[in-house]
């Protein structure tokens, strides 16, 4: 799967060498891989680099689904050559983390985030750990904004 989110950000689940070559040919400079090695779906960094792409690993799993992990992803997006393709096994983690970065940059509400998420066409169970993480993220930001104002 390959979905363009913005001019500089795309998401998906691509793992094959030929598909990575297509991503490089489209002008992408960096692959951010959200699969942990223990999952068995992590890309081979040397295969990515063969396509003249930068490779960044920010493993995301239910065990490390924290603000710190999101901050590590935000930093990777900020410092990596763009455009960036973020991937995971299904595209779900890639979509959520990418949209959370955009939500912060654009000042989206949770409703705006959910609207954008719908456009990605990625299936997600309503009570999934990732859905709960995103909801908690917006709740926390809303409380912080109220405290500041």
Question: Could you give the CA distance from residue 30 to residue 43 in angstroms, rounded to a whole number?
Answer: 13
The pLDDT-based confidence of 125 (bands split at 50, 70, 90) is confident
Q: What is the pLDDT of residues 26-43, one digit of tens each?
A: 999 999 999 999 999 999
Question: Could you give the CA distance from residue 90 to residue 52 in angstroms, rounded to a whole number?
Answer: 24
Question: Could you give the CA distance from residue 87 to residue 57 in angstroms, rounded to a whole number?
Answer: 10
Both tokens of 136, joined, read 């908690």
What per-residue confidence (pLDDT) applies to 6?
95
Overall average pLDDT of the 14-34 stretch: 94
Q: What is the pLDDT of residues 101-110, one digit of tens each?
A: 999 999 999 9
Both tokens of 61, joined, read 């799993």
Both tokens of 11, joined, read 């998401």
Higher pLDDT, 23 or 149: 23
Overall average pLDDT of the 3-21 stretch: 93
Higher pLDDT, 63 or 75: 75
State percent of the chain over pLDDT 90.
Answer: 82
Class of domain 2-148 as given by CATH: alpha beta
65 close to 133: Cβ distance less than 8 angstroms:
yes
pTM over 0.85: yes
């Amino acid at each position: 799967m390959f979905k363009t989110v913005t001019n500089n950000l795309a998401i998906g689940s691509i793992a094959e060498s030929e598909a990575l070559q297509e991503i490089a040919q489209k002008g992408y400079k960096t692959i951010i891989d959200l699969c942990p090695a223990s999952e068995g779906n992590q890309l081979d960094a040397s295969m990515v680099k063969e396509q003249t792409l930068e490779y960044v690993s920010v493993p995301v799993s239910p065990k490390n689904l924290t603000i710190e992990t999101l901050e590590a992803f935000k930093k990777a997006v900020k410092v990596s050559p763009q455009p960036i393709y973020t991937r995971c096994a299904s595209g779900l983690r890639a979509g959520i983390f990418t949209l959370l970065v955009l939500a912060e940059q654009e000042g989206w509400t949770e409703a705006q985030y959910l609207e954008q998420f719908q456009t990605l066409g990625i299936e997600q169970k309503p009570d999934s750990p990732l859905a709960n993480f995103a909801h908690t993220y917006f709740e926390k930001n809303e409380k912080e904004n109220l405290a500041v104002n």
